[in-house]
Amino acid sequence: MSVKRISTPLSEQDVMELKAGDNVLITGVVYSARDAAHKKLVELLDKGEDLPVDLRGQVIYYVGPAPAKPGQVIGSAGPTTSGRMDAYTPALLAQGAKGLVGKGSRNQEVKDALKEHGAVYFASVGGAAALTAKTIKASEVVAYEELGAEAIRRMTVEDFPVTVVNDAHGNDLYVEGAKKYERVAGEG
Amino acid sequence: MREVHVDTVRDHIRDMCIDANYNLGDDVVQAFEQSLKIEESPTGRNVLEQLIENARIAREEQVPMCQDTGFAVIFVEVGQEVLFVGGDVKDAINEGVRRGYTEGYLRKSIVSDPVERVNTKDNTPAVIHFDVVPGDKVKLTIAPKGGGSENMSTVRMLKPAQGRQGVIDFVVEHVKTAGPNPCPPTVVGVGIGGTFEKVAWLAKKALLRPLGEPNPDPFYAEMEKEILTKVNDLGIGPQGFGGRVTSLAVHIETHPCHIASFPAAVNINCHASRHSERNI
Ligand code: SF4
């Protein structure tokens, strides 16, 4: 299995070269945010205010980690279901975010926004949270500390394994992957 | 009567919350290894390898395998000759959950009110299912349940005329709709019969059976096999990236039902199919 390596922040060219089905290792900074943080970010945008982080070129990881044990950088930290972020995602892509990491399918508005703004939706392996935590080398809360596990964290990752699900060209691995391996009744 | 102090229950529950979240059962790890032999998709194989590695890290470093350490769903079988002493057994169970989730560095994912949504900060209260059985023992089972897979669950009141095929179609269609969301490879719990609430309970109970152990009734064992084949033919594969292994197992539990009804339920569990069991 071939693997591509990319570093954040992502450039226009990085994004355009990624295709649905690519296995990718991400190195650099990613920002964690779940529903509660998304809601707050979009409320700020609605009020015309600045976001607590500059999202241009950045990757957002949908994660609410488990508490860190003493000596750990972070507790187990796998992806949460991305669909809950769908309503907020186009607004953040308009702010320049280039990558999203979660698990599960996105709605049509998100897929369209990925094409329009040139961005990519990756999935990391849901439930492989102890493994993922090992790729996170540093983590600090940068906004909404009061949200606990749902606060926005600036995480430094090294070789964080993800797979491209929706690329900027309109391809969808969840649809194409299943089609490729589907067995229709009467076959084989 | 045999007296059982509720503090004993509390201490077991504490340990079980932690054990279930750190140590994935051998049956599940073996199912991953079996799956590696049949998975054709390279990305799918990579996912399975990550899951095996993840389970190893969680066990060796004693950390949760998944950050969603779940709703503490607890089954308690109480022998009818048991007398609980020292307090309220439900309070003791919740205290065990509180200690387990706090002292085990597990994530607290419960909100006190479904609409207001304020986190209780200690993962209580648990969902507790009591059953009274003959004897003087207490059997505790905990099955922490993640939100991602629990959300992909459903009950349908089928028509009796739909029969065996009706249930099969319903389950397969449901797994297809769930797609990548419940973190495949999944375990599919199916309830058939009973009433509206009983069938949902059966589907959940079906998830407790060790993987690889078929329904004792050959008719249902055959049906489990057939559904598993059909589900894996969907091509969803590990994590929904496409592949042969969408589910590790299908478990069916049944109950007699009314002449006019034919309830069926699907409760999907993710590959983090966690349990811990203790006998007192
Ligand atoms: S569905 Fe299961 S494996 Fe996936 S994130 Fe939730 S608890 Fe973890």
DSSP A105-166: ---HHHHHHHHHHT-EEEE--TT-HHHHHTTEEEEEEEE-GGGGGGSEEEEEEEEEEEEEEE
> Is A103 in Cβ contact with B50 (below 8 Å)?
no
Chains A, B: CB contacts within 8 A come to: 163
Half-sphere exposure of A118 (CA within 13 A, CB side): 11
pLDDT at A1: 76
Distance CA B64, CA A69 (A): 10
> Is B105 in Cβ contact with A103 (below 8 Å)?
no
Task: Please name which of B173, B205, B210 lies closest in space to residue B190, comparing C-alpha atoms.
Answer: B205
Q: What is the mean pLDDT of residues A106-111?
A: 98
- Return phi, psi of residue B88, to 5°: -85, 125
Q: What is the mean pLDDT of residues A151-157?
A: 97
Distance CA B140, CA B78 (A): 9
> Is B239 in Cβ contact with A21 (below 8 Å)?
no
On whether any CB of chain B is under 8 Å from the CB of A127, the answer is yes
User: Over 70: is that where the pLDDT of A76 sits?
Assistant: yes
Peptide bond into B125 cis (omega under 30): yes
A:49-68 residues touching chain B, CB 8 A cutoff? 63-68
pLDDT at B171: 98
Dihedral Cα B211, B215, B220, B225, nearest 10 deg = 30
Q: Which of B47, B175, B241, B248 to mutate to test the interface with A (most CBs of A within 10 A)?
A: B241
Task: Please name which of B42, B30, B106 lies closest in space to residue B239, comparing C-alpha atoms.
Answer: B42
The alpha-carbon gap from B134 to the nearest alpha carbon of chain A, in Å, equals 38
Distance CA B272, CA B187 (A): 9
pLDDT at B64: 97
Angle at CA of residue B224, ends B231 and B193, nearest 5°: 110
Render pLDDT for A26-74 as a digit per residue (tens, 0 to 9): 999 999 999 999 999 999 999 999 999 999 999 999 999 999 999 999 9
- Over pLDDT 70: what percentage of chain A? 98
User: Over 90: is that where the pLDDT of A2 sits?
Assistant: no
Q: What is the mean pLDDT of residues A87-95?
A: 97
The alpha-carbon gap from A121 to the nearest alpha carbon of chain B, in Å, equals 13
Distance CA A138, CA A154 (A): 8
The alpha-carbon gap from A165 to the nearest alpha carbon of chain B, in Å, equals 8
Q: Within a 10 A sphere around the Cβ of A83, how many other Cβ atoms? A: 18
A186 confidence band (pLDDT: 50, 70, 90): low
User: Over 70: is that where the pLDDT of A116 sits?
Assistant: yes
Q: Where in chain B is the domain with CATH 3.30.1330?
A: 148-273
Cβ atoms A38, A80 nearer than 8 A: no
Q: What is the DSSP string of A12-53?
A: HHHHHH--TT-EEEEEEEEEE--HHHHHHHHHHHHTTPPPSS
- Return phi, psi of residue A173, to 5°: -60, -35
Which domains can be identified in chain A, with CATH numbers?
A: 3-187 (3.20.130.10)
Mapping DSSP to helix (H, G, I), strand (E, B) and coil, where does residue A7 land? strand
The residues of A annotated with a catalytic role in the active site are 38
Output b/e per residue, B154-193; b: 16+ Cβ within 10 A. bebebeeeeeeebbbebbbebbbebbbbbbbbbbbbbbbb
Q: What is the ipTM score, two decimals?
A: 0.93
Cβ atoms B180, A105 nearer than 8 A: yes
Fold classification of B148-273 is 60s Ribosomal Protein L30; Chain: A; (3.30.1330)
Residue with tokens 């051998």: B26
Cβ atoms B14, B92 nearer than 8 A: no
Peptide bond into A9 cis (omega under 30): yes
pLDDT at B193: 98
* Region label for B150, one of left (φ > 0), alpha (ψ between -120 and 50) or beta (otherwise): alpha
Instruction: List the structure tokens of A6.
Output: 């990319």
Q: Which of A181, A182, A183 to mutate to test the interface with B (most CBs of B within 10 A)?
A: A181
pLDDT in tens, chain B (280 residues): 999 999 999 999 999 999 999 999 999 999 999 999 999 999 999 999 999 999 999 999 999 999 999 999 999 999 999 999 999 999 999 999 999 999 999 999 999 999 998 889 999 999 999 999 999 999 999 999 999 999 999 999 999 999 999 999 999 999 999 999 999 999 999 999 999 999 999 999 999 999 989 999 999 999 999 999 999 999 999 999 999 999 999 999 999 999 999 999 999 999 999 999 999 9
Ligand 1 pocket at CB < 6 A: A 78, 126-127; B 66, 68, 146-149, 182-183, 270, 272
A185 confidence band (pLDDT: 50, 70, 90): low
